[in-house]
Amino acid sequence: MVLRNRKPSNVQESFQNVVQEMDAFVKLEDHYVEQSLLGAVVFLITWVLAISLMYIEFWYFFNPDHTFRFVPDKEFSGYVDINVDLTVAMPCETIGADILDSTYQNTFSFGRLKEEPTWFELDRIQRKHFESIKTFNEYLREEYHSLQDLLWNSGQSSLFGDLPKRRNQPAEPYDACRIHGTMSLNKVEGNFHITAGKSVPLLRGHAHLSGFMDEKEYNFTHRIDKFYFGKPHAGIVHPLEGDEKIAEKNYMNYQYFVQIVPTDIQTLIGSWPAFQYSVKEQAREVGNYAVGASGIPGIYFKYDISAFKVIVNQDRESIWQFLLKLCSGVGGIFATSQLLCDLLRNFLSFFVKKTDNLKDNVLLPSVPS
């Protein structure tokens, strides 16, 4: 009954009195505060500087630079996916695509690529698309270091789209084979090759049956639309995409020496593995044993896995360090502005008093009566 008779207003007023007595920073009343034009100017400048600082810090926090460092790759086991989409100017029934590495395991255990009959000559839209990729990729290989931050921050999974579908169907029969798909490689040295004849698995490798083919049937003119390892990422440039080779001889041997570098991309939301690669290439005519031009005609991608991997980090401090730096910066601006305002006010007050004293001490000349 006693609690019901209490008035809520009295309780609220007593609580406010207790809070006011506990306030360590006594608030000045309005008639004790002197407002001036100088204070207003300093106040506006302070807020402009504080907002500018906050904008710059937030922009840099969400758009940091990237750092790259090499560390030994301790992950010896596992697989590397190779993604291929290329076209060879030979019918699908006359060529075979396989992988052979230092483990000598069965070639079919890596997976199989799809073989799709097509025409090597592109239509106008397809040719324009392919030439754009070729030109753009050549520019990226030359100017990558000036664009790498933009590429890594783009957030795109791939820089290029797929080749458009053919609009006009030629009347001629198929003269080429599109080989595309994904296979899993061991993390050891090996080669992915396309050569004449279908493959037959053997005990320590495989063989290609091409003994019944005529020399005129060999034509390893090829075009590479996609060639990369792992999952695509816009920050990684794939040097072979947009490459095209026209064979002037029938027995041509094209070799691409590929060095694969594992890459770990680390961001705020996590990390994921990727793979970069560098490539050197060589083209030569084979089959003329009289002049020492030995070898098997075909297209060979000889790859090796680097013993080092690249760690890609964003040059960004933790969220707590960022908030602490932001608060200290904004607080420093307001503290400095208050100190500057007091100094200017004291200087102006001293200057005004000095001017008034000079006026009072000036003796006016007496006027004769």
Please report whether residue 30 resides in a domain.
yes
What is the reported pLDDT for 236? 83
Please report whether residue 53 resides in a domain.
yes
Domain containing 103: what range? 67-314
Same domain, 174 and 257: yes
Q: How far apart are CA 209 and CA 207, in angstroms?
A: 7
Please report whether residue 59 resides in a domain.
yes
Mean per-residue pLDDT over the chain, rounded: 80
Same domain, 125 and 150: yes
Domain count, the chain: 2
Phi/psi of residue 291, each to 5°?
-105, 15
Per-residue pLDDT at 9 exceeds 60: no
Please report whether residue 357 resides in a domain.
no
pTM confidence score:
0.69
Same domain, 171 and 264: yes
Same domain, 14 and 140: no
CA dist 23 to 13, 17, 20, 26, 31, Å? 16, 10, 5, 6, 20
Same domain, 108 and 245: yes
At position 175, the amino acid (one-letter code) is D
- The stretch 25-49 carries a mean pLDDT of 67
Task: Taking the CA atoms of 105, 110, 116 and 121 in sequence, report the sign of the dihedral they define.
Answer: negative
Please report whether residue 360 resides in a domain.
no
Which residues on adjacent β-strands are paired with residue 200?
Answer: 207
pLDDT digits (tens, 9 = 90+) for 92-128: 999 988 888 888 776 677 888 999 999 999 999 999 9
Same domain, 56 and 162: no
Same domain, 250 and 162: yes
What is the reported pLDDT for 327? 86
With a pLDDT cut of 90, the percent of the chain lying above it is 25
Per-residue pLDDT at 290 exceeds 70: no
Same domain, 330 and 300: no
The answer to whether the beta carbons of residues 284 and 253 sit under 8 Å apart is: yes
Please report whether residue 366 resides in a domain.
no
Same domain, 13 and 108: no
Same domain, 179 and 32: no
At position 322, the amino acid (one-letter code) is F
Please report whether residue 341 resides in a domain.
no
The answer to whether the beta carbons of residues 191 and 303 sit under 8 Å apart is: yes
Query: Using 50, 70 and 90 to split pLDDT, how confident is the model at 178?
Result: very high
Tell me which of 217 and 155 has the higher pLDDT: 217
Same domain, 150 and 281: yes
Same domain, 79 and 47: no
Please report whether residue 361 resides in a domain.
no
